[in-house]
Chains A and B, each alone.
Chain A
């Protein structure tokens, strides 16, 4: 059983900390100009953070006991290929889920 003091401490600290992280640049820097080299790095924020977040989840999915799982790997590849070729987020999501359930059914 989670201790109630620990739980509320976590919720409050995590809430304040998360807001701080989200506000730090937007709030403090505002419309002051950033140097070109900083902007150049910032252009790649999304394509650097999200893949790093996802890659371990694809290769070692918790639901498959942390072992590589062909169905999930296949679904990830389908979503990636459809996203790359069509450029459409929703098409890639739908294709990814269709592939996931298809592979799970075929391989299950």
Chain B
């Protein structure tokens, strides 16, 4: 049975919808924090539209408020976003054959949620061609990204803090854990995640978020090495 690109698009749309539960409060929170930092609605919105990466936006805003030199602000926030380069590399075998304008759009819309949903689905649907994969990717971002912009405006307009009892600070960790756990479907995946967690905790003191990047590289190397060992053991080729 072949999937049309339209069907793939709507499947992506449906898969993306539940993430609104996470994106919306997170984005409202950015708008609120931006307003508290003295940004007006237009500035907060521009931040979300131009950068479109929550963790990096929060990092930059936090450092700007602490009178950090601008160059350090930019480098730190980009370091938080270096994982996007890894996502880009990881999507390349699937989407590299798409026209350049589509790849440019995919690049702009590469966020944690669209990447995580796409890579899981692409690995499952070996029968999909590049048209289905591109359509699925854009399906996932259709509900997520406009809401990211819109809710930043709402947060900036609300302007006052959401009661801390809602513990929205923990929306991001819960969501990411929920996204990762179902991906841990093989021993190498478990080893990669375990090595990355251990590395990130041991290296948390490093400046410029270098601990995150080093831990990610350690995790990827651990997973790849585990895969090699396991395929030798079973005599299969990876």
Q: A53-B212, A54-B177 are in contact. Are A10 and B60 (CB under 8 A)?
A: yes
Q: With A46-B115, A75-B170 given, can you name 5 additional A-B contacts, CB distance below 8 Å?
A: A10-B64, A47-B193, A48-B216, A61-B170, A96-B178
A39 x B200 contact (CB < 8 A):
no
Chain A residues 26 to 68 lying within 8 A of chain B, measured CB to CB, are: 26-27, 29-32, 34, 36-63
Task: Report the nearest A residue to B95, measured CB to CB.
Answer: A26
Please tell me if B100 contacts chain A, counting CB pairs below 8 Å. yes
Determine the chain A residues whose CB is within 8 A of the CB of B170 once the complex forms.
57, 61, 63, 72, 75, 100
Please tell me if B140 contacts chain A, counting CB pairs below 8 Å. no
Q: A14-B50, A84-B182 are in contact. Are A89 and B92 (CB under 8 A)?
A: no
B90 x A27 contact (CB < 8 A):
no
Chain A residues 58 to 95 lying within 8 A of chain B, measured CB to CB, are: 58-63, 71-72, 75-76, 79-84, 86-90, 92-93
**Bound form: Cα–Cα A100–B227 in Å:** 35
Q: List 22 A-B contacts (CB under 8 A).
A: A9-B70, A10-B60, A14-B50, A21-B84, A24-B85, A27-B104, A29-B89, A31-B96, A38-B89, A39-B93, A44-B223, A44-B224, A47-B196, A51-B180, A51-B193, A52-B199, A61-B169, A62-B169, A63-B164, A79-B181, A87-B185, A93-B175
**Bound form: Cα–Cα A80–B55 in Å:** 21
**Bound form: Cα–Cα A24–B103 in Å:** 10
Task: Report the nearest B residue to A53, measured CB to CB.
Answer: B212
Chain B residues 164 to 220 lying within 8 A of chain A, measured CB to CB, are: 164-165, 167, 169-185, 188-189, 192-193, 195-197, 199-201, 204, 211-212, 215-220
Please tell me if A106 contacts chain B, counting CB pairs below 8 Å. no
A54 x B119 contact (CB < 8 A):
no
Chain A binding surface SS class: helix
The 3 A-B pairs of least Cβ separation, nearest first, read A83-B181, A48-B219, A44-B223
A13 x B201 contact (CB < 8 A):
no
Determine the chain B residues whose CB is within 8 A of the CB of A14 once the complex forms.
50-51, 56, 60, 74, 77-78, 81
A89 x B220 contact (CB < 8 A):
no
B100 x A45 contact (CB < 8 A):
no
A76 x B174 contact (CB < 8 A):
yes
B88 x A22 contact (CB < 8 A):
yes
Determine the chain A residues whose CB is within 8 A of the CB of B18 once the complex forms.
89-90, 93
A2 x B219 contact (CB < 8 A):
no
Closest beta carbon of chain A to B39's beta carbon, Å: 7
**Bound form: Cα–Cα A9–B21 in Å:** 32
Q: A11-B50, A46-B119 are in contact. Are A100 and B86 (CB under 8 A)?
A: no
